[in-house]
Amino acid sequence: MRPVAKKIKFLSTYIMSKHIFVTGGVTSSLGKGIIAASLAKLLQARGLSVTIQKLDPYINVDPGTLNPYEHGECYVTEDGAETDLDLGHYERFLNIPTSQANNVTTGRIYQTVIEKERAGAFLGKTVQVIPHITDEIKNRIRLQETLGTYDIIITEIGGTVGDIESLPYLEALRQLRREIGKENCVVVHLTLIPYLSAAKELKTKPTQHSVKELLQAGIQPDILVCRTEYALPKELRDKLALFCNVDEKSVIEAIDAETIYDVPLLMLKEKLDKIVLKKLGIKNHNEPDLTQWKDFLGRLKNPTREVKIGLVGKYNELQDAYKSIYEAFIHAGSVNECKVRVIPIHSETLENGDIANKLKGFDGILVAPGFGERGIAGKLEAIRFVRENNIPFFGICLGMQCAVVEFCKNVLGIKQADSTEVNPNTTEPVIDLMADQKEITAKGGTMRLGAYDCKLQKNSISYKAYGKVDISERHRHRYEFNNAYLERMEAAGLMATGKNPASGLVEVVELKDHPYFIGVQYHPELKSTVENPHPLFVSFIKAALQHKA
């Protein structure tokens, strides 16, 4: 039953979809993205069509120029937008692609308004936060209504209520709610109920304060989702309901979960989806069909075997820097009924010898994407070791480029072989800046970004994994394999098994006579979802299992 997605007239505006907003209180990192994605999953499983978007209050136009230490992974969409990593969760949970339209920052909002001002759109007027910035925020929120026939649009507001940066977003939300009517708009406030071990008590005061902040902005939340380490007793729920002015049923417990993939089921148990639908006046009597999701969880939690994978990178202090890779391993592990233990290895620690000892006991090594010269030597050491010792290898983007450099140096004997990203003056640029990048000096949004086609060679590891010749994968890079070295490289056994059909750009390299050695210029991790685990991750885990056996 698909009940809504029809035009609803309210005041002077038509709305095509109902809206859910997710705000955050007390602290950051409570997992708004996971709660939003879980709620979306439940609604989708009931047969409703849902999309999620994220509003980020920082001034960068997009997170593409942010260091992974600052902001975690930069997630790239099909259309080449560099976005917040929460969009990765949306795609992994919902199994539908997002786009540039699903992520907006304050920087982009201001950029648009300033461009309009320069074009004369506000002639005669003083341009101000209210109404000009808030109008633009509302436009962006409602843009989704025109992009698809969504029953429900979920908007996650980044940051924490009380931040100066969040104020225009809350004001825009207050206005929008007034314009489209409360029955078309639900506000879910995610908050923290800390446990004081000395007092052995869960505390509600921080939540009361954060709701007060919201009220000051003119927003009464409809539902409180409470992050907690311990179950919320009834008295506490009642107290929160009373002080925060919501009904008792709308105080939802979000207890710490073993895996983020448990959260949709925990929210189902707490009836978050039902409460939301009731508040939005959507009659939906379908029970959510979560069969596939539960199958996935069943296999994830009951592995029959285990492999140990080394993730060689340089941003290892922060797991979020490789978020999609970790998640892709979880998906691929579940398919193989295999627990994948991913051990981060800082590439710089591999630089001073004793590599055999450092990589002992690994069933596979993945060399991660990255930028700049720091840590490259360690990556080359790791690749040489796994190449010579028949250990499964998977190189992604920079990892693939390092595999080429290592092969050219140590097998072809081209001692000066390098990437010009690492050594701009090398006489043997086996990895070089792409021709169309040479004139570019600006850094934001200027890489080769988004989905490009690739043609695979039959009889390759990749073809076997994908089961087809024509694939499309997402990219984020400036450098590429230098085709001047192709003949020599292939003659020695490193084969270019995947190429972009239009430009001839090498997308995949594979080593002959090795059980599993593959490097890809693209980012397969970005397309792995619960329902569609990525074939290369699945085949890499299979190879690791074989290696272990």
Catalytic residues: 397, 523, 525
Distance CA 48, CA 148 (A): 13
Give me the helices (H) in 51-119, please.
68-71, 86-94, 106-119
The residue type of 207 is T
Q: How many contiguous H segments (helices) and E segments (strands) does the chain have?
A: 18, 25
Residue 135: CB atoms within 10 Å:
14
Name which of 34 and 422 has its Cβ closer to ligand GLN. Answer: 422
Using DSSP bridges, classify how beta strands 417-419 and 428-433 pair: parallel, antiparallel or unpaired. parallel
Distance CA 44, CA 236 (A): 31
Q: Is 370 among the residues that bind ligand GLN (CB under 6 A)?
A: yes
Q: Is 328 among the residues that bind ligand GLN (CB under 6 A)?
A: no
Q: Got the DSSP string for 88-107?
A: HHHHHHH-S---GGGEEEHH
Two structure tokens written together for 17:
């979809």
Name which of 400 and 541 has its Cβ closer to ligand GLN. Answer: 400
Name which of 390 and 420 has its Cβ closer to ligand GLN. Answer: 420
Q: Is 80 among the residues that bind ligand GLN (CB under 6 A)?
A: no
Member of 398, 404, 508, 526 binding ligand GLN (CB under 6 A): 398
Q: Which stretch binds ligand GLN (CB under 6 A): 256-264, 274-282, 367-375, 505-513?
A: 367-375
Distance CA 70, CA 382 (A): 27
Closest distance to ligand GLN from the beta carbon of 369 (Å): 3
Residues 496, 526, 333, 308, CA torsion sign:
positive
Q: Is 110 among the residues that bind ligand GLN (CB under 6 A)?
A: no
Q: Is 449 among the residues that bind ligand GLN (CB under 6 A)?
A: no
Distance CA 188, CA 190 (A): 6
x/- site string to ligand GLN, residues 460 to 489, per CB under 6 A?
A: ----------------xxxx----------
Q: Which helix (H) or strand (E) holds 134?
A: helix 134-147
Closest distance to ligand GLN from the beta carbon of 86 (Å): 19
Q: What are phi and psi of 255, to 5 degrees?
A: -80, 150
Closest distance to ligand GLN from the beta carbon of 314 (Å): 11
Size of the site for ligand GLN (CB under 6 A): 10
Member of 104, 190, 325, 397 binding ligand GLN (CB under 6 A): 397
Q: Is 312 among the residues that bind ligand GLN (CB under 6 A)?
A: no
Q: Is 151 among the residues that bind ligand GLN (CB under 6 A)?
A: no
Closest distance to ligand GLN from the beta carbon of 493 (Å): 24
Closest distance to ligand GLN from the beta carbon of 425 (Å): 17
Q: Answer for the pair 64, 82: CB distance below 8 angstroms, yes or no.
A: yes
Name which of 300 and 422 has its Cβ closer to ligand GLN. Answer: 422
Q: Is 506 among the residues that bind ligand GLN (CB under 6 A)?
A: no
The residue type of 174 is R
- The SS3 call for residue 202 is strand
Name which of 39 and 366 has its Cβ closer to ligand GLN. Answer: 366
What residue ranges bind ligand GLN (CB under 6 A)?
A: 369-371, 397-398, 421, 476-479
